[in-house]
Copies of this chain bind each other. A is one copy, B any other.
Amino acid sequence: MSEIKEIIEELLTFRNERDWEQFHNPKDLALALNVEAGELLEVFLWKKPEEANFEKVKEELADVFAFAFLMAEKYDLDVKTIVLDKIKKNAEKYPVNKAKGSAKKYNEL
A-side interface residues toward B, CB under 8 Å?
Answer: 2-4, 6-7, 10-11, 14, 17-20, 22-23, 25-28, 30-35, 37-50, 52, 54, 57-59, 61-66, 68-69, 71-72, 75, 77, 79-80, 82-87, 89-91, 94, 96, 99-103
Nearest CB of chain B from residue A35's CB, rounded to whole Å? 5
A57 cross-chain contacts in B, Cβ below 8 A: 26, 71, 75
Could you jot down 13 A-B contacts, CB within 8 Å? A3-B3, A14-B91, A18-B101, A20-B99, A20-B101, A22-B101, A30-B43, A33-B40, A45-B103, A59-B82, A62-B82, A62-B86, A65-B83
Chain A contact residues: over half helix, strand or loop, or mixed? helix
CB neighbours of A32 from chain B (8 A) = 45-46
Given B30, B80, B100, B103, which contacts A3 in the complex, CB threshold below 8 Å? B80
A87 to chain B, nearest CB (A): 5
A86 touches B63 (CB 8 A): yes
